């Protein structure tokens, strides 16, 4: 990847908020997100999904690509997305799917109007936007939201930081260690190339299970 930053350290020019840049780029991002499918992104871990109609939370849902695919399979899905423009695209593109959209985000993720726990939580291309303290707080919150035996699906992006975005160099190894300190056991760990063909971007896929 490009210039490296140590886990938890932000580049000097990075914005202060993890959602910075997403509103103005929402139209282009909506096209990009929908160019790949849920099956392509999560092919290696689909056998680890709970049986439908389990309750699943998609954090940082973007346009709802994953949330809609899960709903189509019979899951009860809550899609948390803090960027109003992306939520609007998601509701337009996937309005025929039974997805419960909320304006919410990590690390706090209060979900005030969506009480209860989840059988699985997805965080696809989300974790590296949180700094070290936010990741610790977010991990504790995810654990609190999972049922016993529930699973946490994480996709980590590695590569140059897009202009105008805040992003951290978060390794799979660090994520596994942090999860372990909160009682999450790794049940899958893999790597893949970028599905959009970017040679300088790669991805880590992790799945954790609660005690």
Q: What is the pTM of this model?
A: 0.87
Q: Walk across the sheet containing 55-59 and list its strands.
A: 99-102, 76-80, 55-59, 118-124, 146-158, 202-210, 184-193
Res 71 pLDDT > 90: yes
> Please, what is the average pLDDT of the chain?
88
Q: For residues 188 and 206, is the Cβ–Cβ distance under 8 A?
A: yes
Please state the rounded mean pLDDT for residues 13-28.
Answer: 54
For residues 88 and 163, the model is more confident at 88
Q: Model confidence at 48, in pLDDT bands (50, 70, 90)?
A: very high
Query: Which contiguous run of DSSP H or E holds residue 56?
Result: strand 55-59
Res 9 pLDDT > 60: no
pLDDT in the model for residue 46: 97
Q: Model confidence at 25, in pLDDT bands (50, 70, 90)?
A: low
pLDDT in the model for residue 14: 34
pLDDT in the model for residue 35: 79
């Amino acid at each position: 990847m490009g210039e490296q930053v140590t886990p938890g350290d932000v580049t000097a020019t990075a914005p202060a908020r993890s959602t910075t840049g997403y509103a103005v780029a929402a139209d282009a991002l909506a096209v990009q997100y929908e160019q790949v499918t849920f099956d392509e992104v999560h092919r290696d871990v689909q056998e680890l999904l709970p049986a439908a109609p389990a309750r699943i939370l998609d954090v940082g849902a973007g346009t709802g690509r994953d949330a809609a695919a899960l709903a189509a399979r019979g899951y009860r899905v809550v899609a948390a997305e803090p960027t109003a423009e992306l939520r609007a695209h998601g509701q337009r593109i996937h309005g025929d799917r039974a997805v419960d959209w909320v304006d919410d985000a990590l690390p706090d993720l209060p979900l005030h109007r969506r009480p209860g726990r989840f059988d699985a939580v997805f965080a696809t291309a989300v974790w590296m936007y949180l700094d070290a303290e936010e990741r610790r707080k977010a991990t504790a919150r995810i654990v609190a939201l999972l049922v016993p035996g529930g699973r946490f699906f994480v996709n980590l992006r590695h590569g140059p930081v897009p202009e105008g975005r805040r992003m951290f160099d978060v390794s799979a190894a660090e994520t596994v260690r942090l999860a372990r300190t909160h009682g999450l056991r790794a049940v899958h760990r893999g790597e893949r190339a970028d599905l959009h063909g970017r040679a300088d971007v790669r991805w880590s896929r992790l799945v954790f299970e609660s005690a």
